[in-house]
Amino acid sequence: MIPLKDDIPSQTPPVVTVTFIVLNALAFLYQLSLEMGPGQSRQALGAAEAFVYEFGLVPCRLTGSCPAASVPALIEDFPHPFVTIFTSMFLHGGLFHIAGNMLYLWIFGNNVEDTLGHGRFAVFYLACGVAAALGQTAVSPTSWIPMIGASGAVSGVLGAYLLLFPRATILTLVTLGIFIRFVHVPALVVLGFWIIVQFANGVLTLGVAKGEGGGVAWFAHIAGFLAGMLLLFVFRPRRPARR
């Protein structure tokens, strides 16, 4: 299921949502420029790969447990690990990665921003991203694979949206083999199915060798989603949800 739009119009311009989308797009364009730039960078890494290792969140750097032979241990000019919790939220691993995240942010972020207010939504979004990063680090504290993407923060937006607008209707693209249909589905079903998939895949990845393979940071999604549900009560909506 791919959500395309919901049926709840915004009452105020989603300036923060749009700002985050623009920042992510600019960061991705910069990553592309590194990939198309001249050859190699430090320690025989390509410039784009070195950039991801520097500004992505590497769990073993955050916990101080990177093996001596790992790539993170070979690069000396990292920013402080705490900084990468935030910078990693704006980096992506490819076009489909950023497109999917920004689609979800655009569909669901505007209504959560409308409810919380611009300033509180900005802090809420970043706080969910922090919770997601810490959640993934707690599960894989010795991993040296960089974690990048807005998925954790966006997952927090989804968690808040589910509580605020469970009866909203989402226009969804559903593919069944060669058949493609556009279906209106309750938000409770769309987001409920989404979080079940995250939990299922997260459980399947438990026990995977640390630091080997890339893949999806499922527990970042789970932690972000749960954080969004909890932080919604902390940030107290300025107006009641309409659905």
| Cβ pair 220, 134 in contact under 8 A | no
Percent of the chain that is helix, strand, coil (3-state, to 5)? 60, 10, 30
What value, to the nearest 5°, has the Cα angle with vertex 109 and ends 170 and 88? 125
For 146-193, write each residue's pLDDT tens digit. Answer: 999 999 999 999 999 999 999 999 999 988 878 889 999 999 999 999
Q: Is 240 within the bounds of a domain?
A: no
CATH at residue 185: 1.20.1540.10
Q: What is the pLDDT of residue 45?
A: 58
In-domain check, residue 241: no
Other Cβ atoms within 10 Å of 187 Cβ, number: 24
Residue 74 lies in domain: 2-235
**If residue 185 lies in a helix (H) or strand (E), which one and from where to where?**
strand 179-186
- Which amino acid, residue 161? Y
Q: Is residue 39 part of a domain?
A: yes
Mean pLDDT of the chain: 87
User: Could you tell me if residue 206 is inside a domain?
Assistant: yes
CA 10 to chain centre: 22
Residue 85 has pLDDT above 80, yes or no: yes
Query: For the residues of 62-100, what is the DSSP string, one character each?
Result: HHT---TTSHHHH---PPPHHHHHHHGGG--SSHHHHHH
Q: Which whole number is the average pLDDT over 6-16?
A: 93
Length of the chain, please? 243
Cβ 23 vs Cβ 90: under 8 Å: yes
Q: Could you read off the pLDDT of 30-76 as tens digits, one per residue? A: 999 988 766 544 444 577 888 888 899 988 888 877 766 666 555 65
Does some domain include residue 243?
Answer: no
In a domain, 43, yes or no: yes
Question: What's the whole-number mean pLDDT along residues 197-221?
Answer: 75
* Residue 159 covered by a domain: yes
Name the nearest CA neighbour of 162 among 136, 191, 195.
191
Give the CA angle between residues 234, 240, 242 to the nearest 5°: 130
How many domains does the chain contain in total? 1
d(CA 63, CA 231): 25
158 occurs within a structural domain: yes
